[in-house]
Amino acid sequence: MPPFLHAIIDWLRAGYPDGVPESDYVPLLALLRRRLSDDEVRQIAAELAATGDLPADKTDIQVMITKTTNEMPSETDAARVRSRLEAHAWPDPASGE
């Protein structure tokens, strides 16, 4: 996994130190998809699931990604997730960190 994806995972863990709640799956993935490819989103979701930060399995992740591509989250949900993560700077892929 590229270093910038590890930086994004660290950023997500900082924003969700107790793991990502189910209500935030779809809005979180929708926000990630604005900056990342579908494959990068899958890699991040798989890593978070493997470590228990995202209580989901491979099938759940595919369903979440499908929901994200077929159904945009409500503005309220997106705003909730965005505000939770705003305290942490978005990792800069160009920095390699």
Which amino acid is residue 10, in one-letter code?
A: D
Percent of the chain with pLDDT over 70: 86
> In the prediction, which pLDDT does 69 show?
67
CATH superfamily of 3-95: DUF3349, helical bundle (1.10.150.430)
Pick the range with the lowest mean pLDDT from 8-17, 31-40, 56-65, 84-93.
84-93
Task: Identify the CA nearest to 38 among candidates 74, 13, 70.
Answer: 70
Global pTM? 0.69
Rounded alpha-carbon distances, angstroms, from residue 42 to 45, 56, 70, 75? 5, 12, 16, 23
On average, the pLDDT of the chain sits at 80
